Amino acid sequence: MANVVVVGAQWGDEGKGKIVDWLSERADVVVRFQGGHNAGHTLVVDGQVYKLSLLPSGVVRQSKLSVIGNGVVVDPWALLDEISRLAGQGVSVTPQNLRLSENATLILPIHRELDEIREDSNSGTKIGTTRRGIGPAYEDKVGRRALRVIDLSDPEVIEFRVDAMLAHHNALRRGMGKAEFDRNVLIASLLEVAPLILPFADTVWRTLGEARRQGKRILFEGAQGAMLDVDHGTYPFVTSSNTAAGQAAVGSGMGPGALDYVLGITKAYTTRVGGGPFPTEQDNEIGRGLGSRGKEFGTVTGRPRRCGWFDAVMVRQALKTGGIHGIALTKLDVLDGMGELMVCVGYQLDGRVLDYLPGTQGAQARVEPVYETMQGWSERTVGARSWAQLPATAVKYIRRIEELIEAPVAMLSTSPEREDVILVHDPFTD
């Protein structure tokens, strides 16, 4: 029985939600292991659309156990709101089917405010965050002044942690010309939310260890994408956590031996939200056409995504740094009807040709893509569920991508619908 890790292999928004939901039918436990409610996963099940941010995508399957690991930063009010919204769609989320790691870090209102202050500032680099407080919460975590889920069980600990946090934050706020945060208001809000959150709290590392001992299949669900990794991404235009597959072990409390297969989700083209380099971006009719056909708007923010050609160099790099065994290629149908397709096979930088994305911010902004032109197809791939239903030129496009990224296509998605998938290699058994 294999345990599978699903991660994004581009800049996020690759369609992880659908793939995780599809795979969760074969899993017993689905685990989120990093990020927060800045993630956005859209599921379409029998025509019903579910928009998830913090909850694991497997939560819509009532027979599965969903787990939020210690590597996730959790806004308790956002979590309760998401649970409430799902209840309105007929999905019941209870402590019986959702476990929240007791040592997960909490996102508080002070983190959200700091995120907004920084993004609205006229100084510094604008990262294009979702303004959800993710980064500031991770800062407090590594600064050892954060509140964690289990702290909600002790009012004295809440007061101690809040005082330690405000000693840092209020000095920062004064330096930015902002009023100090009200200690009593923050403590009161935490005491109010505590009894609603604590029933979900669990020693997740032990629960997952027992599930593994029983031979249950565990599916680890990542957020964002490899090129947003705080170490391996396009720094500083990255998220505040490690998005690579290795984080699944750390962010859930399981050792790396529990990770058997890593599946990288990859669009048949490339998109990005927010600031930062994007070598294959098409700020033209081609890009706008991809965005329109692919409905490229952020699940969380609603912002239009920047769109461009498939970047094989970037994906190959993401596969190497992330230990990805195979990819799930999504949104192939968005390319239907395009007479000519371009694939980036290298970068030009200052007269040199590179086969990787350089590490410095300046170089990343200056690289020019080297393209290979491929024939498109006029036939429809929407809803295809076998190779035989794909146009020959679409198959050729897929095979060329496999060569360039040096990894096989294990799954192929041809529409937002759950069952419109071509399975080549089952990550749980192959």
Q: Among all residues, which ones are annotated catalytic?
A: 13, 41
Dihedral sign from CA coordinates of 5, 9, 11, 12: negative
Residue with the two structure tokens 């690759």: 14
Name the nearest CA neighbour of 415 among 336, 337, 331.
331
* Tokens standing for residue 354: 């590179």
Name the nearest CA neighbour of 316 among 401, 208, 200, 424.
401
312 and 267 in contact (C-beta within 8 Å)? Answer: no
Q: Phi and psi dihedrals of 111, rounded to 5?
A: -70, -40
- 304's CB contacts (< 8 A; 6+ apart) are 291, 296, 297, 298
Residues 291-328 as b or e (16 or more Cβ within 10 Å = b): bebbebebebbeeebbbbbbbbbbbbbbbebbebbbbb
d(C-alpha 26, C-alpha 14), whole Å: 21
* Tokens standing for residue 239: 């998220």
- C-alpha dist (Å) from residue 97 to 32, 60, 251, 280, 380: 14, 10, 19, 42, 39
Tell me how many degrees the CA angle 303-177-185 measures, rounded to the nearest 5: 80
Is residue 7 helix, strand or coil?
Answer: strand
Q: Phi and psi dihedrals of 106, rounded to 5?
A: -95, 140
How many angstroms separate the first and last alpha carbons of the chain? 10
Cis peptide before 136 (omega within 30 of 0): no
- C-alpha dist (Å) from residue 397 to 228, 343, 402, 426: 26, 9, 9, 22
